[in-house]
Amino acid sequence: MVDRARLLDTFKRLVSIDSLSLGERQMADCLSAAMQKLGMSVKEDGAGVKLGGNAGNLHAFLPGALELPPLLFCCHMDTVTPGIGKKATVHEDGRITSDGSTILGADDLSGVAAILEAIQAMRESGKPHRPIEVLFTVAEEIYCRGIAQFDAAALKSKQCYVLDLTGPVGTAASCAPCILTFEVAIHGKPAHAGFAPEQGVHAIRAASAAISRMELGHVGDRMTVNVGMIDGGSARNIIPQRCVVKGEIRSFDQAQATAQLEEIFACFRDAAAELGASADTEYERVSAAYTVDEAHPSVLRHKAACEKLGLPFSFVPTHGLSDYNALYGHGLRGLVIANAMEKCHSTEEYTTADELERIASLVLELMTSRD
């Protein structure tokens, strides 16, 4: 059985460590020491150097007595802002929050704490278990840049569980979208806005005209489109020569996303041409869409573990990106599972002591399963 008090102490200690994306050094050192203390071999890769950060991904392995294929458990070490000076407060009703000035960091430290507690409880019990792999990644919150640098050939596992989903423990993601990011640079012509505005070509106006023609938000029931950043102009009294627009598309259908991207680029090219400007476009496929096979052994194992622990199992779609997208692309199959975190990416983020205990117990059950 998991030790609830120890689990809460571990979670609070992890929360107190600042670990913004690309600044995970202290967290990586803490987790590396903790896993080595648990008898695991730990390696750190060079992702931090490649990304301009100060720490790499941690890959750990624990041999098992059961002659079964290994399982990989994955979480990310980084948090979003505001995440400096976090402190976890456990309230009388078991709810755990920050002081309201920062995020809590349950995304994804509840999962990290659950994995550490499950391994410790497993070793204390002496219960036989299969080989266990753990991957703690950096820079997940910035489009999973950390795991993109990880050499997946180092993994022994073919099945995995990524702890990085909101909802009651027992929930698992049934599918996730592809994500296309795009950037458009509009090139106009500068002129003095007071003396000769007619001699200029207004790049921001062209960008605005294009955006007004786009479908934003939900586009149908399987896709979202967003323009998130606009930057342009050099001074208040100069017709802007350049404007850069950045956005993204998320869709459960890759072909649909590609078609929508072409429509967006057409909007910018047409709007620019009408005003005498030009548009340069580029995009990146950040992740591929996936759908989970409900008959896969990783799903059946998760369902059986939930049933044994009395947890309600449910499959839900997610519009989010996780490290599983990259692992899926490398041929691993498994699930993204809920890990006791709610209202993530906000100062209202919270977890509960009961849910932390549930996710640690679920991880322990998965690690010791003979299925």
Where in the sequence numbering do the catalytic residues fall? 78, 140
Strand partners, 126: none
> Do 275 and 202 contact (CB within 8 A), yes or no?
yes
Angle at alpha carbon of residue 246, lines to 244 and 251, rounded to 5°:
155
Give 295-306 as a DSSP string.
TSHHHHHHHHHH
> Do 238 and 191 contact (CB within 8 A), yes or no?
yes
Q: Half-sphere exposure of 260 toward its Cβ, with a 13 Å CA cutoff? A: 28
> Within a 10 A sphere around the Cβ of 284, how many other Cβ atoms?
11
Q: Half-sphere exposure of 343 toward its Cβ, with a 13 Å CA cutoff? A: 15
At what angle are helices 106-125 and 4-15 packed, to 10 degrees? 140
Q: Half-sphere exposure of 139 toward its Cβ, with a 13 Å CA cutoff? A: 21
Q: What is the 3-state secondary structure (H, E, C) of 18-71?
A: CCECCCCHHHHHHHHHHHHHCCCEEEECCHHHHHCCCCCCEEEEECCCCCCCCE
